[in-house]
Amino acid sequence: DNTVYPNAPELCDGKDNDCNGTIDDGAGSIPVVSGPRNMCPFEGTGQTVIFTAAPVVGVFSYQWTVPPTISIVSGQGTNTLEVQILPGFGANANKQIRVTSTSACGTSPVSIYYLLAQFPSTPGAISGPTEVCGIVGTSGEATYSISPVTAATSYAWSVTAGMTITSHPNGPGPNDSVITVQFAPGFSSGNVTVTAVNNCGSSSNNRQLAVRSAAISTPGLIQGPTNACLLMLSLANPTGVEAQYSIRKVTNATSYNWVAPAGATIIAHPAGTGADDTVIVVTYASGFTGGNITVTATGNCGTSAARSLIIQAGLKPGTTGAISATELQSCPDRVIQYSVAALPSNTNWLQWTVPANATIISGQGTASIAVAYTGAAINGNITATPSNGCATGGTRSLAVNLSACSIGTTFVKAKTSDMPSCEVSVYPNPSPGQVHIRLSSFSTEPIQVRILDLQGRVYQTRTAKGTQTITLGTELRPGQYIAEINQAGRLLHKRFVKL
Domain boundary assignment for the chain: 1-118, 133-212, 228-311, 324-402, 413-498
- What are phi and psi for residue 226, nearest 5 degrees? -115, -10
**CA 485 – CA 437 distance, rounded (Å):** 10
Q: Which fold has domain 133-212?
A: Immunoglobulin-like (2.60.40)
Q: Looking at residue 325, what is its pLDDT?
A: 93
Yes or no: say if 297 and 274 are a contact pair by the CB < 8 Å rule: no
Cα angle 235, 326, 426; round to 5: 85
- Collect the ranges in the chain with pLDDT lower than 50: 407-420
pTM of the prediction?
0.52
CB atoms within 10 A of CB 217: 15
Which strands, in side-by-side order, build the sheet including 479-487?
Answer: 458-464, 447-453, 479-487, 490-498
**What residues pair up with 167 in beta bridges, in sequence order?**
180
Domain 324-402 listed as CATH 3.40.720: no
Q: Looking at residue 496, what is its pLDDT?
A: 85
Length of the chain counted residue by residue: 499
Fold agreement between 1-118 and 133-212: yes
**CA 335 – CA 362 distance, rounded (Å):** 11
List pLDDT tens digits, range 135-153: 888 999 999 999 999 889 8
Yes or no: say if 499 and 431 are a contact pair by the CB < 8 Å rule: yes
Q: Which fold has domain 413-498?
A: Immunoglobulin-like (2.60.40)
- Cβ partners under 8 Å of residue 407, min gap 6: none
How far does CA 169 lie from the centroid of its chain?
Answer: 36
Q: Looking at residue 27, what is its pLDDT?
A: 53
**What residues pair up with 68 in beta bridges, in sequence order?**
none
- Cβ partners under 8 Å of residue 131, min gap 6: 211, 212, 213, 214
Instruction: Name the class of domain 228-311.
Output: mainly beta
**CA 452 – CA 449 distance, rounded (Å):** 10
CB atoms within 10 A of CB 476: 17
Q: Looking at residue 381, what is its pLDDT?
A: 97
- In CATH, the number for domain 1-118 is 2.60.40.10
Q: Looking at residue 410, what is its pLDDT?
A: 32
